[in-house]
Structure 1
Amino acid sequence: MEMGRKSHLQVSLVLPFSLLILLFLPGIATSFRTHDGSESWGYVQVRPKAHMFWLYYRSPNRVHDPTKPWPIILWLQGGPGASGVGLGNFEEVGPLDLSLKPRNSTWLQKADLLFVDYPVGTGYSFVEDESLFVKTDVEAATDGTTLLMEIFNRNETLQQSPLFIVAESYGGKFAVTLALSALKAIEAGKLKLKLGGVALGDSWISPEDFTSSWGPLLKDVSRLDNTGLQKSNSLAEQIKKELEAGNFSQATDSWSELEDLISQYSNNVDFYNFLLDSGQDPVSLTASELKQGVAIKRYSRYLHTFRDSHSPGGDGDIDSLMNGVLKKKFNIPNNVSWGGQSSFVFDALRGDFMRPRIDEVDQLLAKGVNVTVYNGQLDLICATKGTSAWVEKLKWDGIKSFLEMDRTPLYCGDDRTSTKAFTKSYKNLHFFWILKAGHFVPVDQPCVALTMVGSITQSPSATK
């Protein structure tokens, strides 16, 4: 999931914290907009000395239709500590790829896009004092709500657009806590925003269900033998007991140990696509790197499997892109390095890392919020098996009817010979099973992902 796996881009950026205690420059622009309004970006000081960076793209397809307002997608990356402004934007769903060339499958076709380096310390976001990193998902949500108030309360046009919080990986935990915090602010009259829904992509909602799913799934696909299954199940049971006792930090250590064990007995299966070895998909990293506890993903080489192109860094290096031409464009303070504090973000959140957020999903459903769950078939870290397990634990009054429903196959374009996904919906709960996709659904199956997004947001261009 982008979590617990140290990227090569971080190696050059993880510096002694004393070098990262930043003096916020009084001259930095709090926001900037291009002359045609197609892009805007800036910093919001969500707390004294805590600064969150955001980047907004206005869709060229945006239409004014009072009966069907144009949607906005807020993308939340995982980690915790992975940059939505960099990774989700340039490597997954934004208008440009790493070579700054147009992406044919950009989600900008269906909605405006708002990327945020969330929480503070991620990407371009930074804090001036080590004590200011958030320690819980709920603390992050408070900062995120402050950001939304700053962006939406001053813009009547944005206030008319429903906001859909779409998350990947650990971002799913951020999404449900932020949605609840935003709803509270909306109800109190503090936030002028319409929440359209929440979409949880391969999301780390229930760590217990995921860690329990790894052994049986890998045994079924011949990646573990009986010995590996027995040992992984034993450690997963230990994690379950630690979670039940509220020992979340200890459970984080056991999670790391379980990943090491599975890597050993599977001959290094890739945690983001179980059909691959860890060396074949660049988001997979070694156990020694994992133990350093840095949560970030890196899969530029994976993208280059699909694209015969290179980034301005010369080797598909997003680090060079984000700390080079884009840092200058966005007027980032000189002493802020993109991703430079990300390792501290994970360390600060280690006590919340294994905490489940199923109850928060239930609360959103009970409030009538549209909740979409989507999962890649080949993902291991947030395996569909684990996702199905936590969905079945929901206490929402519609869950029984949802589980009894049949699924509908999905295709792409005019081709009806190849099933791309399955879906089903009941009231405000929706589920998409994305075939032949690993953890990064928009990368592995861009066509059906775009179709799904049009359905989630009910974009006026959904049928175009």
Structure 2
Amino acid sequence: MLAKLIFVLLTLTLVQSREGYGPGDQDWGYVEVRPYANMFWWLHYTTADEVSTNRPLLIWIQGGPGASSSGEGNIYMSGLVDENLEPRDFSYVHLANMLYVDNPVGAGYSYVDVEKGGKFATNMTELTSDYIALLQGFFKAHPEFEEVPLYLLGESFGGKFAPACAQRIHEEVAKGNLKANLRGVGMAYPATKLINNIAFMADELFHAGIVDSDGFKEIQQRSNSILDACIENRWVEAGDLLDELLDHVIATYHLEFFSVTANSLNEFDLSELNSFMDENVSPLLNISIPFGTQRDLVSKSLVDKLQPTSSSVEYLLNNTDIKIAIYNGQLDWVVNTVGTYSWVMALNWYGDVAWNQVERKAFYWDGIHEGHCTEYDRLAFYWVKRAGHRLPNDNPNAMKYILKQLIGYQPT
């Protein structure tokens, strides 16, 4: 009887699976989240268990805004194989089911049919509404995952989006508009309250030996102009000023966006991602939509990119029972660790006093010191060594530890 039940569950779980890019059972599709706005999802069933629903469902949320979960998140960072179809030593698919969603609409394979009147999202409310529609469509296609523990993993702008999205999921579930079992949120180098990171950017670059005293003064002046614009709610102008500041630092000091050591992207050139996906992945998925051509329009359409979503973190801590893990790399000069930690310390929730008094502890993987962690109740903050703005690639062993603590399964 038990063997028959397992066979039935396995059949139901994999009945819709297909072969895609690389090994493993997969499925993919589109959801029209608004008229002429189509969001792409790509599911990779876990290799950890014959019955995939025995393991959680992790949703990867790429940053940008406008970067692609299906391309950067899957092919470059966490999928079973890389751009050369070489097996990745550690893939998140080894641990759990992975759902890569190209979000916002216009990122990656997602697209807006502008000629027919489709529009890009302009603010966080529209972004989260689109994602609720995406989840409703995905769970309609795969109802077997409705009860499976769900975790959102957001990086950079995706780390800003993740808590806002989690709040919206919690609210829609309570209203009966969505069925989902949200259990946690992972926020990697999150742009949740980027004004704090901007305030410390000049210090970060000075102490890393990237700029001298004159460079420090110029960057600090530019940062202050951005902060003034934010204080006065001139969010679009603040975003433009930030883009100018980042371009100035990268060009003047020959620095990569991703790390003060300028080595975070030595495995894959993101400038070649569009052509790689069009030539190597699209034919296998039978997709005719050009990959990534609307990325810049996604970013330009958003008017509140710098508005904080830390209030959603407070909401989740005070009104839900889900776990929250926030992790930052020590080499990240844009979403720098000190800036992120500063807003985490100031969160207003029932455990805030105790959290700020708890002892920070070192954590290890295979006997190697990978960083430190402050954890109390359902909130954990990780300082990760040897990592920049691509933390999962820079220090995969630290990421294994964080995932184990967040979702409760031991990576191999």
Same structural fold, with TM-score higher than 0.5 when normalized by the shorter chain: yes
Match of 1:171 in 2: 158
Aligned residues: 392
Q: 1:131 to 1:358 in 2, by over 3 A?
A: same
Q: How does 1:387-402 map to 2 (within 5 A)?
A: 387-402=340-355
Consecutive unaligned residues in structure 2, runs of 5 or more? 1-14
Say yes or no: does 1:275 pair with 2:230.
Answer: no
Say yes or no: does 1:224 pair with 2:211.
Answer: yes
SS of 2:200 mapped into structure 1: helix
User: Shift in Å at residue 261 of structure 1?
Assistant: 4.3
AA of the residue aligned to 2:284 = K
Q: Is the 8 A contact 1:32 1:42 kept in 2?
A: no
Match of 2:184 in 1: 197
Match of 1:51 in 2: 38
Corresponding residue to 2:370 among 411, 414, 420: 420
User: Shift in Å at residue 190 of structure 1?
Assistant: 1.6
1:103 & 1:178 partners in 2: Cα distance?
Answer: 29
Corresponding residue to 2:89 among 101, 104, 109: 104
2:70 & 2:134 partners in 1: Cα distance?
Answer: 15
Higher share in helix: 2
User: Shift in Å at residue 239 of structure 1?
Assistant: 1.6
Match of 1:373 in 2: 326
Q: Is the 8 A contact 1:107 1:453 kept in 2?
A: no
Q: Deviations over 1:266-309 (max 9, x none)?
A: x2333311123xxx66xxxxxxxxxxxxxxxxx4xx116xxxxx
Say yes or no: does 1:83 pair with 2:68.
Answer: yes
Q: 1:51 to 1:32 in 2, by over 3 A?
A: farther
Q: Is the 8 A contact 2:52 2:97 kept in 1?
A: no
Q: Is the 8 A contact 1:262 1:268 kept in 2?
A: yes
Q: Is the 8 A contact 1:165 1:199 kept in 2?
A: yes
User: Shift in Å at residue 99 of structure 1?
Assistant: 0.9
Q: 1:65 to 1:135 in 2, by over 3 A?
A: closer
Q: Is the 8 A contact 2:161 2:192 kept in 1?
A: no
Q: Deviations over 1:366-420 (max 9, x none)?
A: 123311101111011111011111112211121221122122222222xx2x311
Q: How does 1:236-315 map to 2 (within 5 A)?
A: 236-263=223-250, 267-276=253-262, 299=265, 302-303=266-267
Q: Is the 8 A contact 2:63 2:159 kept in 1?
A: yes
1:114 & 1:400 partners in 2: Cα distance?
Answer: 36
45-54 or 392-401: bigger deviation: 392-401
Say yes or no: does 1:141 pair with 2:128.
Answer: yes
TM-score, normalization by structure 1: 0.80
1:341 & 1:211 partners in 2: Cα distance?
Answer: 27
Corresponding residue to 1:33 among 17, 40, 51: 17
1:411 & 1:132 partners in 2: Cα distance?
Answer: 47
Aligned residues with identical type, % of pairs: 28
Q: Is the 8 A contact 1:110 1:454 kept in 2?
A: no
Q: Is the 8 A contact 2:30 2:39 kept in 1?
A: yes
AA of the residue aligned to 1:365 = L
SS of 2:369 mapped into structure 1: coil
Match of 2:408 in 1: 458
AA of the residue aligned to 2:319 = K
Match of 1:338 in 2: 291
Corresponding residue to 2:200 among 188, 213, 219: 213
AA of the residue aligned to 2:336 = A
1:263 & 1:339 partners in 2: Cα distance?
Answer: 23
2:104 & 2:244 partners in 1: Cα distance?
Answer: 26
Structure with the larger RCO, 1 or 2 (CA within 8 Å, 6+ apart): 1
Give RMSD over aligned pairs: 2.4
Match of 2:12 in 1: none
1:219 & 1:65 partners in 2: Cα distance?
Answer: 48
Q: Is the 8 A contact 2:95 2:411 kept in 1?
A: no
Match of 1:292 in 2: none
1:167 & 1:63 partners in 2: Cα distance?
Answer: 27
Q: Is the 8 A contact 2:46 2:55 kept in 1?
A: no
2:239 & 2:52 partners in 1: Cα distance?
Answer: 48
Q: Is the 8 A contact 1:153 1:192 kept in 2?
A: no
Q: 1:104 to 1:229 in 2, by over 3 A?
A: same
SS of 1:142 mapped into structure 2: helix
User: Shift in Å at residue 201 of structure 1?
Assistant: 0.1
Match of 1:361 in 2: 313
Q: 1:143 to 1:316 in 2, by over 3 A?
A: closer
Q: Is the 8 A contact 2:36 2:118 kept in 1?
A: no
User: Shift in Å at residue 65 of structure 1?
Assistant: 11
User: Shift in Å at residue 63 of structure 1?
Assistant: 6.2
TM-score, normalization by structure 2: 0.89
Say yes or no: does 1:444 pair with 2:397.
Answer: no
1:63 & 1:403 partners in 2: Cα distance?
Answer: 42
Q: Is the 8 A contact 1:98 1:316 kept in 2?
A: no
AA of the residue aligned to 1:138 = T
Q: Is the 8 A contact 1:409 1:422 kept in 2?
A: yes
